[in-house]
Amino acid sequence: MTPTTLFDVLWRLRKTANYDDADVFVLGAMTQLDALRLGQSLAIVTDATIAALEAVIAGYLGPQALADLAAGYVRRVAGGAGSTALTARANY
């Protein structure tokens, strides 16, 4: 058996949600609280992963270059969910 990483788990979750039955994550939970906690936990893992990737990119390009790239993205997708999240993070 090959080693399994967090990214393998996230990939399998995405494949299941996209191509199989996404309801299994909510309806298969023992309680509504369990389903809510799964969603919150996935959001935390995703946010932390993005923060780590942004830190690596900022290390290579510099913080100002990353900020410029993010600002350009926000302008291109103005009003979308991605632009809202980037704008919120840029204010930190």
| Domain limits, the chain | 1-61, 62-92
Rounded to the nearest 10 degrees, what angle do helices 81-90 and 63-76 cross at? 150
Comparison of pLDDT for 22 and 55, the residue scoring more: 55
Distance CA 53, CA 51 (A): 5
For tokens 């510099």, name the residue.
62
Query: 52-92: per-residue pLDDT in tens?
Result: 988 999 999 998 998 888 888 878 877 666 556 666 666 55
Distance CA 44, CA 31 (A): 20
Query: 37-51: per-residue pLDDT in tens?
Result: 888 988 898 888 888
Rounded to the nearest 10 degrees, what angle do helices 32-61 and 63-76 cross at? 120
pLDDT of residue 80: 63
Q: What is the mean pLDDT of residues 11-34?
A: 77
Rg of the chain on CA atoms, in Å? 17
Tokens (6 digits) for 78: 């103005």
pLDDT of residue 28: 74
Q: Rounded to two decimals, what is the model's pTM?
A: 0.63
